Amino acid sequence: MAYSEKLAQRIRDCLGDRVPFEERKMFGGLCFTVHGHMVAGVVDDELMVRVGPDAYEACLKKPHAREMDFTGRPLKGMVYVGVPGIKTKPSLTTWLGRGVEFVGSLPPKKPKKPRPRKRKAPARRPPVSTG
């Protein structure tokens, strides 16, 4: 699934002014994390924002917001915001602010330890006959 690089760049510009963040490909789109927690993402040309369970119902009442039903079931605390709801920099910044605020209330994730790589045993050569 493709994602809007234009929206991704707008998110980078908005988040870069506020907090250090990382990007990773997830959900068939692009995800932005702060302290290891997902804040927002881009799926197709829509914004996906993690607003948290307490703000979820109020955010669903905002114009152009709808429940995130990526898996076929709504994910509480996550909303999609349609293109008209993030048209301007202030509207995008407001939505991202909700995500950053929620993630700021969570403890930072501990970095994952790298997994040891499994090495294949070298192939055994058949014995060489000298006779």
Domain boundaries, the chain: 5-104
Residue 1 has pLDDT above 60, yes or no: no
- Residue 29's pLDDT is 85
Residue among 43, 49, 40, 48 nearest 1 (CA):
43
SS3 category, 89: helix
Compute the average pLDDT of residues 7-29: 89
SS3 category, 94: helix
Compute the average pLDDT of residues 59-82: 90
Radius of gyration of the chain (CA): 21
Identify the CATH number of the domain defined by range 5-104. Answer: 3.90.1150.30
Question: What sign does the CA torsion over 118, 23, 97, 20 have?
Answer: positive
Instruction: Give dist(CA 74, CA 65) in Å, integer.
Output: 13
Write the single-letter amino acid at 13. Answer: D
Instruction: Give dist(CA 43, CA 23) in Å, integer.
Output: 13
Instruction: Pick 65 or 17 by higher pLDDT.
Output: 65
Query: 47 forms bridges with which residues in the sheet?
Result: 42, 81
44 phi and psi, to 5 degrees?
55, -115
